[in-house]
Amino acid sequence: MPDAAGRGGPAVGLKERVYAHTPPVLQSALLSAYGLLWRQRRLGGAFHRYVAEYAARDFLSAAEWQAYQGDRLAALLRHALQAVPAYRRLPMRADALHLLEGNRPFEALRLFPLLDKEALRRAPHDFVASQPGGRLGAALTSGTTGTPLRIMASADTHRRFMAAYEARVRRWAGVGYGDRRVMIGGRLIVPAQDRRGPFWRTNWAEHQLYMSAFHIGPDTALRYAAAIVRFAPRYLVGYASALWALADELERQGWRTPQPLAAVLTSSEPLRPDMRETLSRVWGCRVYDGYSGVESCCLAGECGHGRLHLNPDVGVVEFLENEGDPPQGTEPREMVATGLLNFDQPLIRYRTGDMAVPSAAPCGCGRSMPVIEELVGRVEDDVILRDGTRVRRFHSLPLGLADVRSVQVVQESPDEFVLNVVADGALSEPSRRALVSRLQERCGAVRVEVCTVPEQERTRHGKFRAVVNRSGVAAGGWAHTPSE
């Protein structure tokens, strides 16, 4: 199973149901078999050559990066305008091609309309090239907006992205894909109703212990810690909130690692300074943040000077204000990305749903890659169950449900939840049942009401709150994350 930068885990549907009714030791065997296949897809072929190429570009000058990006961007835009149905129909096609012939790719890029997730959700294959360069695989994601998407990519595209993650996230942190690691991610590897444990499974094929993010609480934290010590990983990797939830509870109980780790790698959510400090104290090592997405449009890794660098060879990132205006001041701006790796489903000026503050200050590490001063990602609260277990990341609830556009989870009390659903037309009964079942798989025998709404409420900054806790529960000394 992949780490936070990748995709993966058992496929949604029949495979998940078979997995759920398999004994734990066989579940580890299934995950290991899957991990073996997944390892070949991610790390096979030219992966090692790609890693070396990324590393060789680390210290390009700003002018060299501009030239590299321009060449890659021109090739992508030309290909999209000629081979991808959605882009062939654009009214500005002739003007963009003219600019590309004049070697002005960045001007051509600005002629393209912004691509929002809903347009991609409605017609994902409209953005696929008429003759893909290889066999395409599909990855499902809900991103930061709760909108389920199908992302198509070849194995080679996936390898290029994972090579960038290896070169610019793992290696910058002093670790590698071959090291033993513990992953705490969003896959439901242990049913929520199982309070006996163990709350982890072993992926022997990838030297990985995959731990449940849905069972961390006051009564289980020390069992997690003991399992980690036994496994003896070199580093931890996973969702920032899940890693911090475990470290926070361990620190409350006076536990510190007997053997310092090499690093903790976080992703998928903003890493607050207090979270970083807690993780560093408990595990005795430095914490490195990262930013990526299933869409493979952009990637950022933290260098030794503690600054988050965007990878110009993964994507062109624009920071917009309103209606595409350039940013002013130090307020967070919308991140719009054009991926440079995936020519089979090109995403051009794609609205990531994330906000960030770009920095013009050079980094002491000597790299000319753009720097993100602050990243504003998901806006969501913690769900606190009656026994103190903290649950987060319900992003997979709508995956595979064609009539569901987005879902918001609202906790009204420890045992009562509301799902606000934006649907295409009338929400089907099978989709309604699936949403309730998936929430109960994560939270146990709770009561769930499904409400269809015309659109989801937004914060004052326009962000979608994926999870809202109105219960006021703070079991185990926890309070839910303050919302905007």
Which residue bears the tokens 């103190």? 388
pLDDT tens string 466-479:
888 888 654 333 33
Res 476: pLDDT: 37
Res 2: pLDDT: 47
- By the 10 Å C-beta count (0-12 exposed, 13-18 middle, 19+ buried), 439 is classed as buried
Query: In this model, does residue 10 exceed pLDDT 80?
Result: no
Q: Output 15 or 187, whichever has higher pLDDT.
A: 187
Give residue 131's pLDDT band: very low, low, confident or very high (50, 70, 90). Answer: confident
Query: In this model, does residue 68 exceed pLDDT 90?
Result: yes
> What percent helix, strand, coil does the chain show, rounded to 5?
35, 25, 45
Give residue 281's pLDDT band: very low, low, confident or very high (50, 70, 90). Answer: very high
Neighbours of 413 (CB within 10 A): 13
Give residue 342's pLDDT band: very low, low, confident or very high (50, 70, 90). Answer: very high
Tally the C-alpha atoms within 13 A of residue 345's C-alpha that lie toward its C-beta: 28
Res 18: pLDDT: 66
Tell me the sheet residues that pair with 357. 374
What is each CA distance from 458 to 141, 144, 251, 260, 408, in whole angstroms?
20, 12, 34, 41, 11
Query: In this model, does residue 346 exceed pLDDT 90?
Result: yes
| Sequence ranges of the domains in the chain | 379-477
User: How open is the CA angle 479-482-483, to the nearest 5 degrees?
Assistant: 140
Res 162: pLDDT: 95
Query: In this model, does residue 326 exceed pLDDT 90?
Result: no
| Average pLDDT of the chain, as a whole number | 86
- pTM of the predicted model as reported, rounded to 2 decimal places: 0.82
Give residue 378's pLDDT band: very low, low, confident or very high (50, 70, 90). Answer: low
pLDDT tens string 210-252:
999 889 989 999 999 999 999 999 999 999 989 999 999 999 9
Q: Output 456 or 96, whichever has higher pLDDT.
A: 96
> What value does the mean pLDDT take over residues 3-10?
42
Neighbours of 135 (CB within 10 A): 8
CATH of span 379-477: 3.30.300.30
pLDDT tens string 417-444:
999 999 888 999 999 999 998 888 888 8
Six-digit token string for 4: 């936070």
CA distance 297 to 335: 11
> Looking at 77-86, 105-114, 182-191, which range is the least confident one?
182-191
pLDDT tens string 23-57:
788 888 888 887 888 788 888 899 999 999 999 99
Give residue 147's pLDDT band: very low, low, confident or very high (50, 70, 90). Answer: low
Residues 6+ apart with CB under 8 A from 205: 32, 33, 35, 36, 39
> Looking at 105-114, 152-161, 384-393, which range is the least confident one?
384-393
Q: Pinpoint the alpha helices (H) of 89-220.
A: 93-101, 105-109, 117-122, 155-165
Q: Output 269 or 173, whichever has higher pLDDT.
A: 173
Q: Output 187 or 300, whichever has higher pLDDT.
A: 300
Res 479: pLDDT: 31
> What value does the mean pLDDT take over residues 142-153?
71
Neighbours of 138 (CB within 10 A): 13
CA distance 424 to 311: 36
Query: In this model, does residue 7 exceed pLDDT 60?
Result: no
Query: In this model, does residue 328 exceed pLDDT 70?
Result: no
Q: Output 141 or 136, whichever has higher pLDDT.
A: 136
Give residue 8's pLDDT band: very low, low, confident or very high (50, 70, 90). Answer: very low
